[in-house]
Amino acid sequence: MEHPVYFDNAATTQMSQEVIEAMEPYLRENFGNASTAYQAGEVCKKVLEETRETIAWSLDAKPAEIFFTSGGSESDNWAIKGIAGAYKEKGKHIITDKIEHHAVLNSCSYLEKLGYEVTYLDVDETGFLNPEQVKNAIRPDTTLISVMFANNEIGTIEPITQIGRIAREAGVLFHTDAVQAYAQLPISVQQYPVDLLSASAHKFHGPKGVGFLYIREGVTIPSFIHGGAQEKGKRAGTENIPGIVGMGAAVKSAMSNMRMKIRRETMLRNYMTEKIMHEIHDVRLNGHYNRRLPGNASFSFAGIEGASLLVLLDEDGICASGGSACNTGESRISYVIEAIGVSKEYAPGTIRLTLSKDSTRKEVDYVVASLKRNIARLRDEV
């Protein structure tokens, strides 16, 4: 290929040109502090609120329910620790599952050290969480359920509507980490009964270091970062105006062509999956076959080490990953792959290929050819 093939879009995406152009004035001439009263600050304050309205529109939410953060990890931490602290008089029990992002799992682990009790539910072999398990796990002292919208490693989309209804009927708050799903799938908080939702701009062609937390009106949550009165006193710190503007531009772009993008990425993902499954022996597709993110595909190949395969792919100019980018450098098998019961024969040979709106069939053909050649090499078949 004339250029590197980037198939690791679940880790991060390339900023689109329209996002860069939207940000540029706020990196140069419009550099005012949005919390000041003079004109330079008012310009930034105005675009800050316009972006809040854009994000609210994308979710069928109210602008007052959108709070800007530094990204998904901060949003997850704020949601889980904040709700735990605010509702501890009701109880100190939280429900989540075993394949959540580490921002959720480590927040729950932190709370356990403070005396909270966390129930970690199992998922099935496709990564799907049965809503009945959630219902059966609820206790009188349960204050929060946190289940991701879609898994970052295997792409499985969880039954958010059913879980949200169960939570609401039980009077328990429901948080979803939608970092992989927001701006990739249509999400309406009127349709999906969630109380808190996390998102991060760099997953949908926006800048890194900016995201938001949706907090349903009426939900009590304390400040996570203390200081000034920004974000209605909920999140102190001078606002990242260029990043927020870039996120707003990325949201507008994603919403304008979402259905076409979903259809195109799904077709390309299916094409890639079918080629790999038919042209390479001893391979399994991880995650749910149909209920998965449009561009996400995780494969486990028997008889090889995924880390070695990734090195060879990199030599061919292909960017892929073994799973979550947050776990890169770890030699052990991913906890997600363990949770869905991938056998020891296949689990070490796991890689993730994630597409974007810019991915092409020519790139897929190149990647599959590289996989065939390098897997045969690692299996000593050549």
Show the 3-state SS of the chain.
Answer: CCCCEECECCCCCCCCHHHHHHHHHHHCCCCCCCCCCCHHHHHHHHHHHHHHHHHHHHHCCCHHHEEEECCHHHHHHHHHHHHHHHCCCCCCEEEEECCCCHHHHHHHHHHHHCCCEEEEECCCCCCCCCHHHHHHHCCCCEEEEECCCECCCCCEECCHHHHHHHHHHHCCEEEEECCCCECCECCCCCCCCCCEEEEEHHHHCCCCCCEEEEECCCCCCCCCECCCCCHHHCECCCCCHHHHHHHHHHHHHHHHCHHHHHHHHHHHHHHHHHHHHHHCCCEEEECCCCCECCCEEEEEECCCCHHHHHHHHHHCCEECECCCHHHCCCCCCCHHHHHCCCCCCCHHHEEEEECCCCCCHHHHHHHHHHHHHHHHHHCCCC
Q: Would residue 44 show up in a list of annotated catalytic residues for this protein?
A: no
Read off the pLDDT of residues 70-101 as tens digits, 9 standing for 90 and up. Answer: 999 999 999 999 999 999 999 999 999 999 99
pTM score above 0.85:
yes
Residue 328 has pLDDT above 60, yes or no: no
Residue 382 has pLDDT above 70, yes or no: no
Q: Report, as an integer, the average pLDDT of 102-106.
A: 98
* Active-site residue, selected from the candidate residues 44, 108, 319, 326: 326
Domains of the chain, with CATH numbers?
Answer: 5-13+258-378 (3.90.1150.10), 17-256 (3.40.640.10)
Residue 329 has pLDDT above 80, yes or no: no
pLDDT of residue 331: 54
Read off the pLDDT of residues 146-201 as tens digits, 9 standing for 90 and up. Answer: 999 999 999 999 999 999 999 999 999 999 999 999 999 999 999 999 999 999 99
